[in-house]
Structure 1
Amino acid sequence: MGNPVQRHYGLDWLRIGAFAILILYHVGMVFVPWDFHAKLPGAWWVAVPMMASNPWRLSLLFVVSGYASRALLKRNATAGKFARQRSLRLLVPLAFGVALVVPPQPWVELTSKYGYAHGFAHFYVHDYFRFGAVGPIVLPTWNHLWFVGYLWCYSMALALLVGALPAAVRRGVQRGFDRVARGPALLVVPLGWMVLVNFILFPGGRETHALAGDWVAHFSYLPAFLFGFGMAAAPATLADLRRWWPASAGIALLAYAVVAGIELRWPGGTMPRPFGTIFSVARAVEGWTAVAALIGFADRHWNRDHRWRPMLTEAVFPFYIIHQTAIVLGAWWLMGAGLPAWADFLLLVAATIASCLAFYFGGRAVPWLRPLIGLRRHASRRTHVDPRPAIV
């Protein structure tokens, strides 16, 4: 499989930061007009700062996961071992999450929005595992854990490709990536692909996170995952991202300014033509140029270790598993309290962080719980330098 892929601490820090932003983003979902599992009185303008990360945070996570997958493939020696390792690390916490972590979310949604009259215990025993619809919600559900399911599917597709293609073909594909993913093409080709997906292949399409038929998501996130996989063996690509990150960041900021300006002028998706199209194009430009800028910035400035990194890297997956349930339950408890929106927000953030910390520190201390919350069965003895790649 060639030389080992070096751990990229900058990508670790990006992953940690992206999941921290995700927690704040999902707290924000409680207050904006967009659909969410639990809602509190808020303001439409909250959507404007949320759009600063909305177009790029998930693509960035799939790129980082693709990079780490290359390292895991090399460490596992064969595609079959890689597939087994990924299945254990992803499917076990996914099943645990669907069975025990996610259920309060649809119960709160059904109770607060659709008049569901039963308590949680009745819901869990009689309705959650019916494998059918209760009101508008099909149960059981994975809600925010769709990311884990998609990542497992992409990992299995990668394992099949690596196992099926001869080594000479794989080397040829990598050489092709090395030639294309350089210079201006690093921005032009991905942006052209996003325009193709959103305006030609699936005009007006939206992500569903239902796996089957979610073509907009698959045509967006699978290429991002494969880009990260190719980038892990392409130092020239990383060098160009590092060299051009200020230009990429400038383009991303300009694109966000367009997005924010149109949203401020026509809030709630009511923008007339041609501003709706301009809005969508600007989001696409922001989405990829922000990813390119962040990777380049992290490679130049953050590719160094810190004594907190191993713990923060390990904590990301358990935080991700529990955070949305904590947010939805917190919002449910705050309903009817009559607090101002700023107080609701601060209480939700504090309660969510406390829940994440309790879930992580409580789970990591119990050996049989560790795999259920996304941790390795045995804690690493190396607290300052962890050579193993981090991947959700």
Structure 2
Amino acid sequence: MRWRSVMQATTGMAGRQYGLDWLRIGAFALLILYHIGMFFVPWAWHVKAAEPVDWAVWPMMAVNPWRLMLLFVISGVVSRALLGKLATPRGFAASRSARLAVPLLAGMMLFVAPQPWFELRDRGAYEAGFVHFWLNDYFEFGSSRGTPLPTWNHLWFVAYLWAYSLMLAALAALPARVRVLLQRGFDQLFTGWRLVVLPMVWLALARLLLHPVFGETHALFDDPYAHAIYGFAFFFGVALARSGAAWTTILGQWRALLGIAALACAALFAVHGMSDGTSAWETARLLARTALAWTAILGLIGFAQTHLHHDGPVRRYLTEAIFPYYIAHQTIIIAAGFWLKQAGAQTGLAFGVILLTTLLGCALTYESARRVNWLRPFLGLKRVTPRSLSATAAQEVRSQSFEKL
């Protein structure tokens, strides 16, 4: 009965999709941990620890192939639900612009600005203070110091999500018969084994053909590889939201999919340990990475909708808080990492301090923003109106009444 009720709620998009809410919260939390890890691993990043931690590469490799694609798939599903609630495609575009473009611009001007300053200071390429940097050098619209300025850094995700949302609004303006045909085509194409295999083929071809030529720039207009991956994931989520056939496969096979993901992860580890850099080993790495990415995404979605489809005050709090956390977290990580590096902190202590500082800083940012109405849009939060306050109060009364029963 539980599986059937979840299936009905999902395929019909009837009500809030609590499982996807929890999965989105978990994916953003994992992203924050991943960015803390980027300070320690040998890979290039904005600010690096004095001594890299080689073993940290392994857990990072396990989540790297699927962590961002999962967020884009969930965003696509949620965008389809929002599109159904709003009256017109124009209303959807306006709503998404307010919730994405405004915090993107505010983030570039304010929240992200300290990141390149710390990066340049860490490289020894800048001596002046941050205020001087922000007033005189940050808005140069160039790369004279080897770092593009201004920048959106980790907020590229918001820029891409906004662009895809505008494209979705344009698709929603198509005649109804065209939209029905598009959905029907998805339902016929992505069902059964094809739901697993065809996207893996697409992702593998993109990695094989586009990535070696274009790389991944996160610059929006010259990033064909990223659009082939993340644009596909977003619009896959849009169509998945109303595809009963695809949900039947996911909810019926999520355990097997997670099992395949675990095997693919083990294969990726083995290839990483044995590879000599030849094309054969790189092809094996590509295949293992692709299998891990797609089966993990589908398996986690199925798990979330099966076992996490429940509400509560923690979910309601974190669902709103996690986006402001995302906006603020990387600047806090870079700042804490820079000062700890300057102080010569040991690795274990540095990790604990960065983690605690990031959590406290994100919580302070959110708690401050949610209480200042004019500040809320800059962190991606809706403005509070008397009507919304009344609705929130009514919801709290219903929740308290339910808890007393």
TM-score bucket of the superposed structures, by smaller chain? over 0.9
CA distance in 2, matches of 1:5, 1:70: 12
CA distance in 2, matches of 1:317, 1:139: 24
CA distance in 2, matches of 1:29, 1:384: 44
Q: Deviations over 1:79-127 (max 9, x none)?
A: 1110011111111111111000001100011111142121111111100
Deviation of 1:195 (Å): 1.6
Please, which of 38, 54, 59 is the counterpart of residue 49 of structure 1?
A: 59
* Map of 1:240 onto structure 2: 249
Indicate if the aligned counterparts of 2:13 and 2:241 stay in contact, CA closer than 8 A.
no
* Map of 1:280 onto structure 2: 286
* Map of 2:134 onto structure 1: 124
Please, which of 157, 165, 169 is the counterpart of residue 155 of structure 1?
A: 165
Residue 232 of structure 1 aligns to which amino acid in structure 2? A
Please, which of 256, 275, 288 is the counterpart of residue 265 of structure 2?
A: 256
Deviation of 1:6 (Å): 3.2
* Map of 1:84 onto structure 2: 94
Indicate if the aligned counterparts of 1:127 and 1:134 stay in contact, CA closer than 8 A.
no
* Map of 1:189 onto structure 2: 198
Deviation of 1:200 (Å): 3.2
Residue 275 of structure 1 aligns to which amino acid in structure 2? W
Residue 218 of structure 1 aligns to which amino acid in structure 2? H
Please, which of 148, 154, 159 is the counterpart of residue 138 of structure 1?
A: 148
CA distance in 2, matches of 1:335, 1:263: 29
State the secondary structure of the residue aligned to 2:63.
coil
CA distance in 1, matches of 2:270, 2:124: 35
More deviation in 337-346 or 182-191? Answer: 337-346
Deviation of 1:176 (Å): 1.3
Deviation of 1:192 (Å): 0.9
Please, which of 370, 382, 391 is the counterpart of residue 376 of structure 1?
A: 382
* Map of 1:68 onto structure 2: 78
CA distance in 1, matches of 2:147, 2:210: 28
Deviation of 1:305 (Å): 1.3
CA distance in 2, matches of 1:230, 1:73: 12
Q: Deviations over 1:278-315 (max 9, x none)?
A: 11221111111100100111111111212211111000
Residue 173 of structure 1 aligns to which amino acid in structure 2? L
Matches within 5 A, 1:219-234: 219-234=228-243
* Map of 1:212 onto structure 2: 221
CA distance in 2, matches of 1:201, 1:295: 27
CA distance in 1, matches of 2:210, 2:69: 19
State the secondary structure of the residue aligned to 1:310.
helix
Residue 108 of structure 2 aligns to which amino acid in structure 1? V
Deviation of 1:155 (Å): 0.4
Please, which of 289, 309, 325 is the counterpart of residue 319 of structure 1?
A: 325
The TM-score normalised by the length of structure 1 is 0.93
State the secondary structure of the residue aligned to 1:336.
helix
Indicate if the aligned counterparts of 1:238 and 1:299 stay in contact, CA closer than 8 A.
no
Residue 240 of structure 2 aligns to which amino acid in structure 1? M
- Verify: 1:102 aligned to 2:102, yes or no: no
Q: Deviations over 1:203-223 (max 9, x none)?
A: 454211011110110011111
Q: Identity of counterpart residues, as a percentage?
A: 47
* Map of 2:3 onto structure 1: none
Indicate if the aligned counterparts of 1:307 and 1:383 stay in contact, CA closer than 8 A.
no
The TM-score normalised by the length of structure 2 is 0.90
* Map of 1:31 onto structure 2: 40
Indicate if the aligned counterparts of 2:265 and 2:289 stay in contact, CA closer than 8 A.
yes
Q: Deviations over 1:312-355 (max 9, x none)?
A: 10001100000000000000110132222111111100000000
Indicate if the aligned counterparts of 1:5 and 1:233 stay in contact, CA closer than 8 A.
no
Distance 1:181 1:6, change over 3 A: farther
Deviation of 1:384 (Å): 8.9
Indicate if the aligned counterparts of 2:210 and 2:224 stay in contact, CA closer than 8 A.
no
State the secondary structure of the residue aligned to 1:308.
helix
* Map of 1:389 onto structure 2: none
State the secondary structure of the residue aligned to 1:134.
coil
State the superposition RMSD in angstroms. Answer: 1.8
Indicate if the aligned counterparts of 1:11 and 1:64 stay in contact, CA closer than 8 A.
yes
CA distance in 2, matches of 1:385, 1:203: 55
Deviation of 1:239 (Å): 2.1
- Verify: 1:59 aligned to 2:73, yes or no: no
Indicate if the aligned counterparts of 1:79 and 1:162 stay in contact, CA closer than 8 A.
yes
State the secondary structure of the residue aligned to 2:148.
strand
Deviation of 1:175 (Å): 1.1
**Unaligned runs of at least 5 residues, structure 1:** 387-392
State the secondary structure of the residue aligned to 1:244.
helix
**Unaligned runs of at least 5 residues, structure 2:** 1-11, 400-405
Deviation of 1:160 (Å): 1.0
Q: Deviations over 1:116-147 (max 9, x none)?
A: 12111111110001111231111100000000
Deviation of 1:202 (Å): 4.4
Residue 297 of structure 1 aligns to which amino acid in structure 2? F
Residue 355 of structure 1 aligns to which amino acid in structure 2? G
How many residues are aligned here?
381
Q: Which protein has the bigger helix share?
A: 2
